[in-house]
Structure 1
Amino acid sequence: MKYIIIALMLINLLPYTSYRKILVAVTLEPLAPIVYEIGGQCVEIEVLLPEGVEPHTFQLTKDVVEKASRADLIVHTGHMEWEKKLISILNKSSVGLEDYIRFGLNLTNIPGTDSVDLHGYWLDPINAIAIAKAIVEKLIEIDPMNSEIYNLSLKRFVDKMYMLMDSLTTLSKSYNLYGKKVLLTFPSEVYLIRPLGLKPIACIVRGPQILISGSELVKVREMLTKKEISFIVVSSVARRMKAVEYAEQLARETDTRIIYLRTFSLPNLYDYSSLIMYNVGLIIGSGKSLECDMQDLSEIYVSLIFILLIISIIELLYIYRLRKYV
């Protein structure tokens, strides 16, 4: 009996992560892949925003508060009011906008305004790095015994992101996209196109209940008619809004292409690069579709597959190194 008691006491002294994963609650689904890239098998992820709900109009519910209360760490954008309310209600370890800024978050203004664009900043790989660094800092505070795993995962993720950004720049220049002018529908689309070096001329939605001015709309229409703007971007968030009707009307009247991009990855597909490459494929493919043959399209997909292959090799090398810590 004495030895059983001693054994139980020793078990209680074992590291926190030795018998259960760290539960991380993310307010938005796009944050989940970044958490998974860092935490891997050391974390369990819970997405708080119900599927299909518009995050900007969501009202905090008891169910969401209850889910978040069970988490060891809450990862949020610091942008939505319901997130701020959630953090204020719960006395939980959390990581958000201020933390990301400390680690080099690169924000820009909403096109045509002096307002800082906080919509979708996590969609740009350079900002994903800042978010990942802040997450690592918090995970090490909660779970110091696995600090080597988290730091090695961070290095892997940073290497992947820089390789991805270099590849996107090369692709954009190869297909004559770099520097092309684009009309956006919603502010988060800035961070979708920035890695390709595309230039946002204007944005139809400027803020809550705020649309582009009439005089600027006339100017944009003229640029579209003269083909000075290459295409119009509509994200999955924008498709839920009235603004998509304005974008589609402008496209019809000026014979301009619309490219529909995703801002949310596929459920439970926790790979950050996949969403980026999916959107890049849509942009490059759409840009070439009116003027290229099947051989050109094949070259596009071969390029994208090659980039994903190199990223996968980097992933495998780091996974091999991680095995000695698990």
Structure 2
Amino acid sequence: MIKQFLTVLAFTFFFISCKKENKNDNKKLNVVTTTSMITDLVKNIGGNLIEINGLMGSGIDPHLYKASEGDVSKLVNADVIFYNGLHLEGKLVEVFEKMGHQNIKTIAIGESLEKNTLIGSDYFASNYDPHIWFSVENWKTITKFVIKKLIEVDPKNAKAFEANGKEYLAQLEALEAKLKNTIATLPKEKRILVTAHDAFSYFGKAYGFTVVGLQGLSTATEAGVQDVQKLAKFIIEKEVKAIFVESSVPKRTIEALQAAVESKDHKVTIGGTLFSDALGNANTKEGTYIGMFEYNVNTIINALK
């Protein structure tokens, strides 16, 4: 599959090479992004000065994402591509690395973070947890990085990017304060978050939660019967009140976990659906990074109280 994709990509490069060389400098910067979180971030900084195409919309799992022919057209016509990196997008990363040799700037936002701030993993290909957006501090660092990179690609709009970025950073500061106030209402002993896959470790580290995912860091790994039974035992021992499904992960695994707990005469509810690897629907509050984070925290706190 990846070989076929790269073949299509190579032919497309050939046919559009002259077009890219003759691009009008007065046109807006053509930006392609992968996940919806990155799309929202770049849109906040670029505003109406850029044309942005996000590959992955609401409910899309980046771990399992396969590029379409339409995506190829978006990628080869891009002036700059922002992606997460840390192997979140799977084999797409191989494509981005090859595109770097075709005069298309590809930028992995994960590279903006110091390695000592990343959460390691013995079970994931990159050895780092890629769910870096679940720390607002991380997102502020990444915002500054994206501002810098947009200015490098489009220096004539530097002042506008800086102004938009400054405003967005202020919004992230306000979000951080709001989240901490909400979380403070939940006793520390109740801060145990059980989800479909292990996407919330940065959240747990930042806000004092014990986080356990039924699946591993990647949804490509399947949870077995032993995984379900082990986590069911943990839930009973810790008297966890609620567990959570995720918008981009089938809920059957969490329903199986709930059934395993209840088979041992312990009650646990499904506390709601959290947004993990993708934002909510476009034109909704949850369709933004800030709205998604507020929604997630409110859902978690209300279910665990």
Q: State the partner residue of 2:215.
A: 205
- Distance 1:180-1:45 versus aligned 2 partners, 3 A rule: same
Q: Per chain length, whose mean CA-contact separation is higher, i.e. which structure has more relative contact order (CA < 8 Å, sep 6+)?
A: 2
- Distance 1:233-1:177 versus aligned 2 partners, 3 A rule: farther
Query: Equivalent residues in 2 for 1:172-321 (5 A)?
Result: 172-176=183-187, 180-191=191-202, 195-200=206-211, 202-206=212-216, 207=218, 208-211=220-223, 214=226, 218-239=229-250, 243-250=253-260, 252-253=262-263, 254-259=266-271, 260-263=273-276, 264-268=279-283, 271-288=288-305
Structure 1, unaligned stretches of length 5 or more? 1-14, 289-326
Deviations 1:130-154 (A, max 9, x none): 3222211221111112212222322
- Displacement after TM superposition at 1:28 (Å): 1.6
Q: State the partner residue of 1:45.
A: 52
Structure 2, unaligned stretches of length 5 or more? 1-23
Verify: 1:62 aligned to 2:69, yes or no: yes
- In structure 2, give the amino acid aligned to 1:279: N
CA contact (8 A) 1:182 1:199 kept: yes
- Displacement after TM superposition at 1:261 (Å): 0.6
CA contact (8 A) 2:242 2:268 kept: yes
- In structure 1, give the amino acid aligned to 2:275: R
Q: State the partner residue of 1:155.
A: 166
Counterparts of 1:168 and 1:204 in 2: how far apart (Å)? Answer: 25
Counterparts of 2:111 and 2:247 in 1: how far apart (Å)? Answer: 27
| 2:197 alignment partner, SS class | coil
- In structure 2, give the amino acid aligned to 1:22: L
- In structure 2, give the amino acid aligned to 1:203: G
Verify: 1:77 aligned to 2:84, yes or no: yes
- Displacement after TM superposition at 1:55 (Å): 2.6
- In structure 2, give the amino acid aligned to 1:21: K
Deviations 1:186-237 (A, max 9, x none): 122334555543211x3211243353783x6555323322444343232112
Deviations 1:138-190 (A, max 9, x none): 21111112212222322322232233223212211123357612223212233
Counterparts of 2:261 and 2:37 in 1: how far apart (Å)? Answer: 29
Identity %: 20
Query: Equivalent residues in 2 for 1:14-53 (5 A)?
Result: 16=25, 19-49=26-56, 53=60
- Displacement after TM superposition at 1:266 (Å): 2.1
Q: State the partner residue of 2:8.
A: none
CA contact (8 A) 2:199 2:213 kept: no
Cα RMSD of the aligned pairs, angstroms, is 3.0
- Distance 1:161-1:105 versus aligned 2 partners, 3 A rule: farther
CA contact (8 A) 1:117 1:188 kept: no
- Distance 1:51-1:188 versus aligned 2 partners, 3 A rule: same
- Distance 1:223-1:187 versus aligned 2 partners, 3 A rule: closer
Counterparts of 1:135 and 1:153 in 2: how far apart (Å)? Answer: 11
Counterparts of 2:254 and 2:92 in 1: how far apart (Å)? Answer: 26
| 1:163 alignment partner, SS class | helix
Verify: 1:171 aligned to 2:182, yes or no: yes
CA contact (8 A) 2:236 2:261 kept: no
Counterparts of 1:46 and 1:222 in 2: how far apart (Å)? Answer: 45
Q: State the partner residue of 1:8.
A: none
TM-score scaled by length of structure 2: 0.74
Count of residues in Structure 1 that have an aligned counterpart in Structure 2: 266
| 1:81 alignment partner, SS class | coil
Counterparts of 1:49 and 1:175 in 2: how far apart (Å)? Answer: 34
- In structure 2, give the amino acid aligned to 1:276: F
- In structure 2, give the amino acid aligned to 1:261: L
- Distance 1:217-1:49 versus aligned 2 partners, 3 A rule: closer
- Distance 1:161-1:179 versus aligned 2 partners, 3 A rule: farther
Counterparts of 1:153 and 1:138 in 2: how far apart (Å)? Answer: 14
- Displacement after TM superposition at 1:32 (Å): 1.1
Q: State the partner residue of 2:96.
A: 87
